[in-house]
Amino acid sequence: MEVIILILLALILLFYFKSKARKLKNVIKYLTSEEKKILQEKVLFYTKLTNEEQLEFEHRMIMFLNQIQIVPYGCRFEPEDRVLIAASAIIPVFGFKNWQYPNISTIYLLPNAFNKEFQYVGNDNQRNILGVVGQGKLSNKMILSQAALRHGFDNKTDKRNTAIHEFVHLIDMADGDIDGLPESIMESPYTLPWLDLIHCKMDEIEEGDSDINPYGGTSKIEFFAVASEYFFERPKLLRRKHPELYEKLARFFNQDLA
């Protein structure tokens, strides 16, 4: 009897250490030289940081990557994708030292734009979604087009970045509501002026009198995400064209990029 118990115990311990070793193998401890090269070449935000800040940025990317799972569907997942996803996550929260996303665990990468049924091939099935984050059945998940992810960093002048847009939705959602009011990062006295400004800027979009992506005119939620893309992609231009909007976003994100 005792022998059986001992054998069982040995088997349990063996299994435990094996699974632990397997888990440890997947833990990322540092970025490879290839990944750092990608950061230097593709992520303008990173190149503008001081050496010390760059180390912090890399450290936070690694922490983020160790917290989430990335699942590619129908595409080859390359180091570039890993770097760009992690950079997109950290850019909007870099002003908050200890920020961790409470609402994301898995990111699904599809090769291209997709539709509501997540179909990513075909031409006549309304594939016009580049990224989505979810509530309900999609909660803790993000679905992202690989082409849009890469395009967001390849084109540095178009004020657009799909992955940053989706992470900004997660920041908006972190207070429990997705409503264009990022209460997890804004102080309450700014709520009303922010809503007034959103309405004014959405009116300008509707009247065709704005250089902000018209998609931002569809709701307060999308306005916040679209304006944030502009803020992180072209901060100086945003400050020149929309000084009040720039000033508010700089305060929310605790980053004065221009």
When asked if residue 163 is in the footprint of Zn ion (CB under 5 A), the reply is no
Which residue's CB is nearer to Zn ion, number 58 or number 222?
A: 222
**Long-range own/partner contacts, residues 177-183 (CB < 8 A, 24 or more apart):** 178/135, 178/221, 179/220, 179/221, 180/219, 180/220, 180/221, 180/222, 180/223, 180/224, 181/220, 181/224, 182/224, 182/252
Residue 19 to residue 65: CA distance in whole angstroms? 20
- Contact status: 170 vs Zn ion (CB under 5 A): no
Residues 54-83 as x/- pattern, contact with Zn ion by CB under 5 A:
------------------------------
Q: What are phi and psi of 194, to 5 degrees?
A: -65, -45
Give 114's strand partners: 129
Q: Between 173 and 250, whose beta carbon lies closer to Zn ion? A: 173
**CA separation (Å) from 146 to 26, 72, 202?**
22, 9, 29
Work out how close the CB of 59 gets to Zn ion at its nearest, in angstroms, rounded to a whole number.
Answer: 28
Does residue 225 touch Zn ion according to CB under 5 A? yes
CB of 229 to Zn ion, least distance (A): 10
Which window, 48-56, 83-91, 171-179, 221-229, contacts Zn ion (CB under 5 A)? 221-229
- Nearest residue to Zn ion by CB is 225
**Packed helices 79-90 and 162-173: angle between N→C axes, nearest 10 degrees:** 40
Q: Which stretch binds Zn ion (CB under 5 A): 83-91, 179-187, 216-224, 234-242?
A: 216-224
Q: For residues 60 and 165, which CB has a smaller minimum distance to Zn ion in the complex? A: 165
Binding residues (CB under 5 A) for Zn ion: these are: 222, 225
